Every structure is written in structure tokens, then in C-alpha cells.
Amino acid sequence: MTTKTKTKSLLHVGAFAILVFFTGCKDETKTPEKKATNNTILKAPSGFSVEEIGKDLGAVRHLTVASNGDIYANRSVLNEGKAIIVLKDTDDDGTVDTQHEFADLPGTGILATDKYLYASSNAAIFRYAFNDDLELMDTDNPEKIVDGLIDMGADNAKPFTIDKDNTLYVTIGSWNDACRDNETQEGMIPCPILETAGGIWKFQANVPDQTFTDGERYATGLKNAVGITWNQSTNSLFATDHGRGGLHNFYPDLYSKKQDGELPAETLYEIKEGDNAGWPSTYYDPIQNKRVLAPEYGGDGDKEGEIDAIEPLMAFPAHLGPNDLLFYTGNMFPEKYRNGAFIAFHNQSPELKIGFLVAFVPFKDGKPSGKWEIFLDNFAGYDLKNPEGGTLLHRPCGLAQGPDGALYVCDDFGGSIFKITY
């Protein structure tokens, strides 16, 4: 029995599937020795197998899998001068054996369609054309779709998604936590940031050389919606939003340190055109289960928000950092996962001592149908409740589904890509 066969046998035993197998990636000019390692142990529900199919790949943020199984990931930091990495299984034996890198602008978003590979930098959206065999024809000269998106150096990722009508939806996050005036420390009314950020804008995915002024604001009041996807089942846009911080630091008389770790919620929304998600003048309190007026705008921690803002479909613990969102449409996983949402949480809750995980939200008829649950855990590599001596290994960031129904997760801290099968 081979090492790989032994490992997969172990993964299906007991309450959790444990990752102990790593398959090395091969450069087109070099073939490194394949080796097994057990320095990363991910926990998954019984019956699931987890393989580390890429390692030491750099700050891989979001990823996508083409219909032929090729895996593309976008880096937020260049690695040897390149941003995008592609991993291929050229002999169809289930093992990645070819690695290639291209592009010189770092970013986050990336999406493969049947004709193009779209990718984002922190200020623009590009695309590369596929040929009939889904090979990229020219990786040196991408076509620029949108340029001139504001980049202030903080929360500046430009994740995106595309609907069936070739509408391109792009998140433009706010670099200011609460649209706070630097001198008065009070909230600015109206918030000038909302003119160019703090929401989602729409463009045309098949029209080159657009600028920011060619787009339309689709939704506002989202501080930083890094997880964004078009749900083909509901034919609508969904997004996860990062909550603001600094409640105790700026308002110690209103918020304790404990409350600072508990507030506000990280949120999941279904978003229609014209929606307002409430930022910056309100936030969603997951303990009181209501929208609360932010202290910069006259709130006291209890007073309800006064604007007409949409309610989240689900509220998660504060500070988890939802960085990607995927609706599962495959047939490989059990039926309970069909059309449900996977969310990659990039950070941890300081109060609950959980984090660095992939969660699952069951859906029925386009709406959450039960409580969220932890699907993949222990990316950190140590017990968050007893962190002494622990060294952070991974931070889940991006999600993708393969043509066979496998789930892929990338990690922008340890530089790994994981493949989850059932």
C-alpha cells in the first residue's frame, strides 16, 4: 500500500478526517522530490479527506478552478515578481504535477469562466483569454476591464464576481473604520467615503477600458465585503462584510474590553440593487440581535440605528474576518451541503477563542435553514483556548469548487492550498 493510500484510509476513520499527506508541486522546468509531511493537521467532519496539494506558495488570497481542473490563485504580495499561480494535473492521476506563475500586479480576486480568467489588483480588474483547450493564450498582456478603483492602502482588496448576464460586481472597501474625522474623532455626516468606497459597484465584464466613473454603485453601507459571490440558484448577489472595530479604544466609557471583543457582528447578506447595509452610522449587535447606532453618530451601545438598512441573513461572532464565500453546487458532498454556503474566516474571536476556520451555513429555498457550523478547523495549528507556545501555521482566505465537486481552500499566511473530498 502506498503512502497516499495509507493516508486516505486513515482520513476516513473516527470522528474527524485529519490531514497528513502533502503532494509537492512541480515547476515546468524542475521536478522536486515528492514527500509526505504531518506538520499541518486540519479537522473535518467524518467521511471527508483533506490533502495539501500546494505548499509555500506565498500570500494566495482567492482561488478559482477552471472546468478542466486547473487551479489558479491570486497573491496579494508578489512572489519572485509574480502574482498569479496555476497548478495543473497534466496526466490526470489526481496529483498536481505542474506549476506556472505569471502577472506582475498583486491582488485578491480571481475567477475562471469558459472563455476568460479574470483577476484583480488593488485598483483594477484584468482578464486573460483562454483558447479552446482552456489554455491561456497570452499571460504577458492582459486586457484591462476596469481601472481607477480607489486604493488608500488599507482594506484595499478588490474581490469581485460575475453574474450570468456578464455584470461585474466589485467590492470597494473603506480604509477608515467608521468614517471618523481625524481631528474631532466624530463620524462625518454625510460620509464622503461612500461616494467611492464602502460598497459594491457594478461594471460590464465584457467591456474593456472602463474607469470608475463608468460603473454604478450597486449597494452601499458595506465596510469591506471581501467575500462576494453570485448565487446561480437564487440569481442574486451575496456578500460577507467585515465589522468595524475600536469600540473600547475610542469609547471606553461606553464599551468594556469584553464588549470590544464581542461587537459588532460579522455579517452575511443577500444584496439587491440599491440596498444599504448600514455602515458607518450603524452596526449589527449579535448579542442584542438588533442594529445599533454607532457611537460616532450619537449611539450609546443600545440606541437603535435610525436608517433604513437591510438585516443580515446571519450574524457571526465579532472579528472573525470573513474573507470568502462559496455556495456549494456539486454532487460529491452529502445532500445537506447542496446549495449551502461555505465561508472562510481569516481571523479569530478574542472572546470565544475560535477562528481560522471554514464554516458552513445550511440553506433551503435560498435562505439559511439552520445554525452555522464549523466545517474545517485547526488552521492555526494549535488550540486557540490554550495558545501558549503555539505558532500560527495557516489563515484560510479563499474558496473554490472543482468540476468534480471537490472544495479547495487557500491560505495566505502559510501559502498552502488544500483539497477537500468526500
In 167-320, which residue ranges form alpha helices assigned H by DSSP?
Answer: 247-250, 257-262
Q: Can you tell me the mean pLDDT for 280-294?
A: 97
User: Residue 238 is which amino acid?
Assistant: F
Please report, as a single letter, which amino acid is at residue 118.
Y
What are 314-360's pLDDT values in tens digits? 999 999 999 999 999 999 999 999 999 999 999 999 999 999 999 99
Whether the Cβ atoms of residue 136 and residue 117 lie closer than 8 Å to each other: yes
CA distance linking residue 222 with residue 239, whole number of Å:
9
- How are beta strands 143-147 and 210-211 bridged, if at all? parallel
- 6, pLDDT greater than 80: no
Please provide the average confidence, as pLDDT, over all residues in the chain: 91
Does residue 119 belong to any structural domain of this protein? yes
Residue 16 has pLDDT above 90, yes or no: no
Which has the closest alpha carbon to 179: 165, 166, 191? 191
Give the span between the Cα atoms of 217 and 379, in whole angstroms.
36
- Apex 353 CA angle, 352 and 358, nearest 5: 95
Is pLDDT larger for residue 38 or for residue 341?
Answer: 341
The pLDDT-based confidence of 14 (bands split at 50, 70, 90) is: very low
Tell me if residue 377 falls in helix, strand or coil: strand
CB neighbour burial string for 73-102, b if at least 16 within 10 angstroms, e if fewer: bbbbeebeebbbbbbbbeeeeebbbbbbbb
Task: Report pLDDT digits (tens) over 207-223.
Answer: 999 999 999 999 999 99
181 within 8 A of 188, measured Cβ to Cβ: yes
The residue segments making up the domain with residue 178 are 58-338+354-375
Name the percent of the chain lying above pLDDT 90: 88
Contact predicate 23/37, CB 8 Å:
no
Report which of residues 6 and 365 the model is more confident about: 365
Q: Is the pLDDT of residue 8 over 60?
A: no
Give the pLDDT band (50/70/90) at residue 22.
very low
Residue 399 included in any domain:
no
Establish if 38 belongs to a structural domain.
no
Residue 294 within any structural domain of the chain: yes
Residues in the chain: 422
Residue 25: per-residue pLDDT: 37
Counting DSSP H helices and E strands in the chain, the numbers are 3, 31
DSSP secondary structure letter of residue 81: T
Residue 366: inside a domain, yes or no? yes
Segment 351-390, tens digit of pLDDT: 999 999 999 999 999 999 999 999 999 999 999 999 988 9
* Count of domains forming the chain: 1
Predicted confidence at residue 32, as pLDDT, reads 35
Least Cα distance to 93 among 129, 53, 146 occurs for: 53
CATH number at residue 104: 2.120.10.30
Once rounded to an integer, what is the mean pLDDT over residues 74-87? Answer: 97
Residue 159 · residue 120 · CB < 8 Å:
yes
Is the residue at 247 inside a domain? yes
Identify whether the C-beta of residue 79 lies closer than 8 Å to the C-beta of residue 101.
yes
Residues 150/116, Cβ–Cβ less than 8 Å: no
Reduce the DSSP state of residue 20 to 3 states and report it.
coil
Q: In what order do the strands lie in the sheet with 417-421?
A: 49-54, 417-421, 407-411, 396-401
| Arithmetic mean of pLDDT, 4-18 | 36
Query: How many CB atoms sit inside 10 A of residue 165's CB?
Result: 9
100 domain residue, yes or no: yes
Q: In a 3-state reduction of DSSP, which class is residue 199?
A: strand
For the residues 73-86, what does the mean pLDDT come to?
Answer: 97
Q: What does the pLDDT look like over 83-96, one tens digit per residue?
A: 999 999 999 888 89
pLDDT beyond 70 at 2 = no
Q: Which region among 4-13, 97-106, 181-190, 247-256 has the lowest average model confidence (pLDDT)?
A: 4-13
pLDDT for the residue numbered 325:
99
Whether the CA torsion 219, 223, 228, 233 is positive or negative: it is negative
**What pLDDT is recorded for position 306?**
79
Q: Which residues contact 252 (CB under 8 A, 6 or more apart)?
A: none
Classify 232 in phi/psi space as left (phi over 0), alpha (psi -120 to 50) or beta.
alpha
Say if 287 falls within a structural domain.
Answer: yes
Average pLDDT over residues 109-117: 98
